[in-house]
Amino acid sequence: MDAEWPDRLAQVAVESFGTLGFMFPLDEAEAGAAGSLIEPITVAVSFHGPRTGWVTLTAPSGLLPILAANMTGDDGPISAEVQQDAFKEMLNVICGNLLPQLAGAEAVFDVGSPKIVDGQNGLLAVGPTATARLLLDAGQVDVALFLAEVVKV
């Protein structure tokens, strides 16, 4: 795993959050006050193919309704289910765009369904292969890539 992976993770995540979620990185001056993960929620998606592993996305729970509203265009109250659906779909897009960089454009991967996880289930105890932190206008987001031979999500 080369040293460029944190940048690659960040680049894919920034593009995905910008295009789908209309959330954009803060500049350095604005970023100081934004870096916190209050009531963090994590979603994970597994992939199997030439490389096996999973990708996780962690954000403060307060980011989810903003993301869902931006993606759906709904101004009214948004259910927790829809909020999580939006968060999962964002991870799905990030994962799909990362995989060709892992094993080349010809490689075929099977991608699982994104699932909400917590830090106690063992998934996050393994330690990521690469991580990236985004400071978006709606809050801090952490993206992590885990590579393993056997994945039990």
- Residues binding another protein (CB under 8 A): 15-16, 19-20, 68, 71-74, 82, 85-86, 88-89, 92-93, 95-97, 99-100, 105-109, 111, 113
The minimum distance between CB 126 and another protein, in angstroms, equals 24
Burial class (CB in 10 A: 0-12, 13-18, 19+), 61: middle
For every residue of 8-45, DSSP letters joined together read HHHHHHHHHHHHHH---BPPHHHHTTT---SSEEEEEE
- Reference 135, options 2, 44, 29, 39; nearest CA is 29
The minimum distance between CB 49 and another protein, in angstroms, equals 8
The minimum distance between CB 58 and another protein, in angstroms, equals 19
Q: Of 31 and 151, which has the nearer Cβ to another protein?
A: 151
Report the b/e string of 22-40 with b at 16+ CB within 10 A: ebebbeeeeeeeeeebeeb
Q: Of 3 and 108, which has the nearer Cβ to another protein?
A: 108
Q: Of 32 and 76, which has the nearer Cβ to another protein?
A: 76
The minimum distance between CB 147 and another protein, in angstroms, equals 17
Q: Of 28 and 81, which has the nearer Cβ to another protein?
A: 81
| Residue recorded with tokens 């993960």 | 37
